[in-house]
Structure 1
Amino acid sequence: MILITGATGTVGREVVRGIPDGLAVRIMARRPGRVTGAGAAETVRGDFTDPASLAGALRGVRAVFLVTLPGGGDDAGFLRAARSAGVRHVVKLSAAAAGDSGASDLITRWQRRNEELLRASGMEWTLLRPRAFMSNTLSWAGLIRERGVVRALYGRSVNACVDPRDVAGVAVRALTGGGHAGRTYTLTGPEALSAAGQTEQLGELLGRPLLFEELGPVRARAALGARYPAEIVEALLESAERGRAGAKAEAGDTVARLLGRPATTFWQWAGDHLDAFAGQ
């Protein structure tokens, strides 16, 4: 039995879709009614803060896809429950910044703490450290549809962003195949792109020019503050400064090596999701 957490999220839902037919899959969610596209998978209620629900969700499970509890909590309780249930292997979604000694923002510290807990858990582990998801650009869709405009911080900073489907593909390989225990995989796209470059590609695909407007730190802080708590806003701004200095530019070959095909380009990802940007 494979247990998948975070199945309503960007990567988790793709992991569910990618598990080969014939393997037993269970989805753990705080609100099972929100899970879609589960197919033949069993869906159960489970809450990181409720030990009884964890015990039930983990019963009979041998491998777990773990997405860290949102909001800065740690995975200690979940990992204890998993080990008690006899789980052998945990594949954790982390972040590329966790491997960057120059990164010290709050979100990165949370991820490092949970990586340490997993490594010390006594179970086999695999760490997935993706760069920013290409799907983050979906937050631009409304303004693109309404005004043909993209607004982002530091438009010329480049990031080797990755298709979440590629991250999920690696997760499925780690969950269902051998040779991944004790491995840490930094996952990137095939090239580093800036927000301005992504905007240009979207405009070409849409067949109409898009205007890019760069937000300075003051405007970016105000925009982010409408969506996130203050401590998260500061962490995101700190991360953006690292990107501005080139810390997120390196594109590796790990996705291609593990999946046996080239990593998805932003052009390909955007083409597959063009309806979101071109809606009526």
Structure 2
Amino acid sequence: MRGSEERGAGPVILVTGATGTVGREVARLLAGRFPLRVLARRPERVRITGERVRVVAGDYADRASLDRALTGVRAAFLVTNSPVEPDDERFADAARAAGVRHLVKLSAHAVADPGADDFVTRRQRDNEAAVRASGLDWTFLRPRRFMSNTLSWAGSIRSEGVVRALYGLSPNATVDPRDIAEVAVRALTEPGHEGRSYALSGPEPVSAAQQTAELSEVLGRPLRFEELSRRQAREQLLRRYPRPVADALLDSAVRQLTGAKATVGNTVLEVTGRPARAYRTWARDHAAAFAA
């Protein structure tokens, strides 16, 4: 473990996934405001520090490490990624035994879509069911695709000035991970969010081709969009994910092609009091990642 024991008044909040896109931002927003504990498989990768921050080494499959991390915790932010391990059930069981009162879980927008029946969505539904069955108070965050996913284009933009993606004209109401994190922090620190499922989107649906054009304007250089075939997209996905996950992502892309992911909601505004950020804002704030 690294850092000092939590200091100061107030209940301890635990954050998992703090080396990832949303969890890192949740931890950053909480650090300095509340006693914060961070559970990480690799504590050396956690970049959040502070007098009231404590980083604990642990793994969802290691119950003893969960017990150590959850002792004295009032609320926890839960991020799980394994498509096969029962990590949500493991964490919820340990949280209940430790006296945790509230779990805020990062889930997925498709969970509430009856037309979505791919492998990943079914697993997310099972994970939500495990948290509900724990008897703890819960809040589910169900975001659309992260705007930060376009960071995967950075290499080809820097070297070729090209973006390659599947179904380039299909719209998705993508959401800024910072907005997801702000909703998570509200749910963790304010009353009234228990038993709520929050569908989170950006302010407008955008396609990959539109995102390419906006990145071009932000960077001040021409960029070209090239459409991938389904075969090419599958080959790329299989380099990063197990076959069931890759196939699920392809099925999800087909649903996006039909407009199933274009719906915009006002949840970010309703929970935080300010509108969701547009993709152009995200791109401007992260332009350095794409710079040649």
> Normalization by structure 2: what TM-score?
0.94
Asked if 1 retains the 8 angstrom alpha-carbon contact of 2:70 and 2:95, the reply is: yes
Q: Does 1:5 align with 2:16?
A: yes
Q: Does 1:38 align with 2:49?
A: yes
CA deviations on 1:99-157 (whole Å, 9 max, x unpaired) are 11110111111110010111111110000000000000000001000000000000001
Asked if 1 retains the 8 angstrom alpha-carbon contact of 2:41 and 2:57, the reply is: yes
The equivalent of 2:62 in structure 1 is 50
State the SS of the aligned residue for 1:155: coil
Indicate the percent of aligned positions where both proteins have the same amino acid: 59
Asked if 1 retains the 8 angstrom alpha-carbon contact of 2:83 and 2:120, the reply is: no
The equivalent of 2:25 in structure 1 is 14
Q: Does 1:261 align with 2:278?
A: no
Partner Cα distance (1:219, 1:69) in 2: 25
Per the TM alignment, residue 229 of structure 1 is displaced from its structure 2 partner at its CA by: 1.4
Per the TM alignment, residue 69 of structure 1 is displaced from its structure 2 partner at its CA by: 4.1
Size of the alignment, in residue pairs? 279
State the SS of the aligned residue for 1:178: coil
Q: 2:39 aligns with which of 16, 28, 41?
A: 28
Per the TM alignment, residue 70 of structure 1 is displaced from its structure 2 partner at its CA by: 2.4
CA deviations on 1:73-98 (whole Å, 9 max, x unpaired) are 22111111100000000000000011
Q: Does 1:240 align with 2:250?
A: no
Partner Cα distance (1:96, 1:159) in 2: 11
How is 1:70-219 mapped onto 2 (pairs within 5 angstroms)?
Answer: 70-74=82-86, 75-219=88-232
Partner Cα distance (2:148, 2:22) in 1: 10
**Which runs of at least 4 in structure 1 moved beyond 4 Å after TM superposition?**
none
State the SS of the aligned residue for 1:150: strand
Asked if 1 retains the 8 angstrom alpha-carbon contact of 2:101 and 2:137, the reply is: yes
Q: Structure 2 regions of 5+ residues with no counterpart?
A: 1-11
RMSD: 1.0
Per the TM alignment, residue 20 of structure 1 is displaced from its structure 2 partner at its CA by: 6.0
